[in-house]
Structure 1
């Protein structure tokens, strides 16, 4: 007997957690097709969300953007703010990867409002954290601190000590920064840590680097 759609989806989640993103994408795609055949729209959209997260982490930003845009549309089609919050977070992450902090901020703000609309701590935290990073990248430090504080409380409510530590680290870093007009700050799009000068040079040259704090591949 072949695995059910739910089993494929759970396998996709496990693959994502194990950083085996290509297998996660395949499992999520299979789950989505099965859910669609069964007429289970909400679960098919959930499979799309997992596909997006795996694709983002696999560094395929072009396809990840398409998936999150579809997720945004499909979430809106069933009036589901949680899926829309997830999609806006993903689109904000893609913009952050490109160091387009102004665009990232717009996505994260929308995602934050949508997550709060359904009292969801997970995407309130992640979109709030994204807002903080984007504002920091724009040298709007006082606003960034406020966003980080909101993210910190939401991560605590969601019982996510690792991510609480990430936010606390960014708050320590930001306390020593003095914004300078025209100076671009290069941040890890995942944990918000400030990248070293040599890492910024690598990114500017179109190559990849790795965050020293959380290990995320960037570029």
Structure 2
């Protein structure tokens, strides 16, 4: 199991706080890597190497302050003013959204994620869509299903299976167990998915009575 699969498994089977302590450096490096990869591509194509390097440095410094800062939201908001690329801004806004949730500012959390579901940075757009679907699942199963259907995420997207998993959970909450089973069986049958995703689908399918 690679580190990203292990993190994914931890987030589903353990609480977020425990996962953060266990994988905080991997989380930070993954977030920076998402931006750095996009920024590097943009630098190559449009000669914005200086701006990209600046933004990578700013983002990394911000995330390193997460554990020590008394007002992490303010740190992020201030840093957003220092960023010079769209990818940098969108990446750091994703971190801002996560912080809103941690601090129970759910209205701001939802608003920021809705904005990011239209992000130009593909990775940020996909992750935001997943996070928002998960948020809707917790408050309104019907809304979660509608949101996932309207998002029309392609099957090739790395969040597609996770969104289908959320949809199946929402259907189960609504009492539509037949439709939920169809989704779980499709996930189990998809040999291209990570083993831990298939294992969760099997477990949740078995829980449906």
TM score, norm. by length of structure 2:
0.58
User: Could you tell me which of 17, 32, 51 is aligned with 2:96?
Assistant: 51
Q: Distance in 2 between matches of 1:124 and 1:31?
A: 31
User: Could you tell me which of 110, 126, 148 is aligned with 1:108?
Assistant: 148
Partner of 1:168: 202
Alignment deviations for residues 14-58 of structure 1 (CA, whole Å, 9 cap, x no partner): 788x9x9987756654553322xx2x1122112222322343344
Partner of 1:67: 112
Higher helix share: 2
Partner of 1:9: 59
Displacement after TM superposition at 1:120 (Å): 1.8
Q: Distance in 2 between matches of 1:167 and 1:32?
A: 39
| Contact persistence 2:116–2:128 (CA under 8 A) | yes
Alignment deviations for residues 151-208 of structure 1 (CA, whole Å, 9 cap, x no partner): 5577x746473x554333212201xx2xxxxxxxxxxxxxxxxxxxxxxxxxxxxxxx
Aligned length: 157
Q: Distance in 2 between matches of 1:68 and 1:24?
A: 18
User: Could you tell me which of 121, 128, 137 is aligned with 2:173?
Assistant: 137
Superposition RMSD in Å: 3.7
TM score, norm. by length of structure 1:
0.55
Question: What runs of 5+ residues in structure 1 fail to find an aligned partner?
Answer: 178-219
Partner of 2:80: 32
Question: What runs of 5+ residues in structure 2 fail to find an aligned partner?
Answer: 1-52
Kindly indicate whether residue 135 of structure 2 is the aligned counterpart of residue 90 of structure 1.
Answer: no
| Contact persistence 1:109–1:127 (CA under 8 A) | no
